[in-house]
Structures are given as structure tokens and as C-alpha cells.
Homo-oligomer: A and B are copies of this chain.
């Protein structure tokens, strides 16, 4: 009789510049594919890894969470973490692994996600940060942007801020999402946007930020946000901000034991 499968939960960080996003795509190097391959190499069985959500090409993660079921992988967890890291490129790191109860689902069980967007405001962007911030040295009314950011909080239909679905792609069931916190602040030479929500639509964070940048440029006003939301039309909002400034910072789950990461054992 075969042993019952184990459910593993992984916390991982990655440099999005090296990948065509999270999601497996035929012929392209993605984070999901790369980690699945490492897991399969160690366990000798095909492994399907389920992330808390997708990240686009160029988007970074400080703490993505994913789960998988494994049948034959019996090595102790600390050894598994080391073994995975030695199989993976240095652009992806497994920061923690634990075993969770069968049925845990990294996406469905996520209570909220925190994203951060970093804008470098100085005239010159240090070469070491060129992949990790969006360099925008041009004039911006930052006060207006800071005041506008919290207007995204609450449960709204965010259709105006969602990527238009590709032709033939299934439409999402609902474009209503709940934003728990939407905040912009200055941190030295950076303008940092943080947004926490129960879930996000495709490109939503980059589109929210794109609108805030338009507010900074003076072409839009924060007061328009309710109208733009009500329009439920992508063309009512603004441009999509570049991927390189965006980080998935944290995924929160219900049964937090480790206060820092909000994931038991992670």
C-alpha cells in the first residue's frame, strides 16, 4: 500500500528580472517551472507547485508562498531546503519549508497579500538598483499622490484597474476586490507604495500605481478615483507602471504562529 502524500509549504524569494513571471509557460523560464523541476529532480516524481498567486515577468518576491504534494520525498525539511537551494539558480531562494495538513491551499487559504512598489526619485539611479526600483526622476506632486493613495481602500469593483483579458481567456468571476490598506510614503530617495488586499486582479497594483503617477504629474486628480472605479472600464484609468519596481512582500494566513511571516513554521 502506498504511503499517503505529504503537503509541503514553501516560502521563497526571487529576482523577477530573470524570469517570465511565476506561471509555467511553454518554452519560457518561469519561477514555478524552475522550482517544480528542482522538486522533481529531488523526489523522482512530477510535482505540481501551487503559488499564492502569479507574479508577472520582472516582478520580484520577498516572500511568495506555495504548496505542493509529494509522495516519495522523505528527506528531513532542513535538508530539503538546502538541497532545493543547491538545485536552484541563485535568483530563486527557498527561505523556509514546512509540512502542513493535507488540504492546505496557498492561494485559497491566503487571508491577504502585501505588495510594495519602489520609485527612485533622485536624478541618478545607482547601477546596483537598476533592476529593483522604477527610476522616475521627473517632477511629481508627491503630496497629491500621498493624499490620493488611501482612496483605493475598501471593497470596490476594480475592473478599471485590471488588465484587459487576452482574447479567448476566461473572464474572472468578479472584479470586486477588497483593499485593506493603500499607502504611499517617502523613504529617503524613494517613494514607496504599499497596498494590502485580500486579492488582486491581473496588473492591478501596477495600474493603481500608474494612476497615482498621473496624479503626481497633474493630469489626473485623486478626487476622480470614485468616478474611475464606477466606470468599470480599463480606459477610464491610467497607464500600467513598469514591473521592475514591484515586490510581493508578504502573504498572510489565518493560523499565524510565526508573527514575522504569518505562516506557521515559515
Interface positions of A (Cβ within 8 A of B): 13-15, 60, 82, 85, 90-95, 123-128, 130, 132, 135
Question: Do A90 and B13 have beta carbons less than 8 Å apart?
Answer: no
Chain B residues with Cβ under 8 A from A85's Cβ?
A: 124
Give the residue of B82, B123, B124, B127 whose beta carbon is less than 8 angstroms from that of A15.
B127
- Which of B82, B91, B125, B132 sits near A130, CB closer than 8 Å? B91
- Report whether A93 and B13 are in contact in the complex, using a CB–CB cutoff of 8 Å: no
Do the beta carbons of A91 and B124 come within 8 Å of each other? no
> Are A90 and B60 in contact, with the CB atoms below 8 A?
no
Asked if residues B124 and A128 are in contact (CB atoms below 8 Å), the reply is: no
Instruction: Say what secondary structure dominates the interface of chain A.
Output: mixed
Contact (Cβ within 8 A) B128 A90: no
Q: Judging by beta carbons under 8 Å apart, are B125 and A93 in contact? A: yes
The 9 closest A-B pairs by CB, nearest first: A90-B130, A15-B127, A91-B127, A93-B124, A93-B127, A14-B127, A13-B127, A15-B128, A95-B124
The smallest C-beta distance from A35 to any residue of chain B, in angstroms, reads: 13
Verify B132–A13 contact, CB threshold 8 A: no
Contact of A126 among B13, B82, B127, B128 (CB under 8 A): B13
In the assembly, how many copies of this chain are there? 2
- 10 further interface pairs, Cβ-Cβ under 8 Å (given A15-B130, A85-B124, A93-B126): A15-B128, A82-B123, A90-B125, A90-B127, A91-B130, A92-B127, A93-B124, A93-B125, A94-B124, A128-B132
Chain B residues contacting A125 (CB-CB under 8 Å) are: 90, 93
Cβ–Cβ < 8 Å partners of A132 in chain B: 128
Chain B nearest Cβ from A21, distance in angstroms: 15
Residues of B within 8 A of A128 (CB): 13, 15, 60, 132
Subset of 8 A-B contacts with CB under 8 Å: A13-B127, A13-B128, A15-B130, A85-B124, A93-B124, A94-B124, A95-B124, A128-B132
In the complex, how many angstroms separate the beta carbon of A225 from the nearest chain B beta carbon? 32
Q: Closest CB of chain B to A32's CB: distance in Å?
A: 16
Give CA–CA (A60, B129) in the complex, Å: 13
A10 smallest CB distance to B (angstroms): 13
Q: Which residues of B contact A130 (CB under 8 A)?
A: 15, 90-91
In angstroms, Cα B124 to Cα A6, docked, is: 25
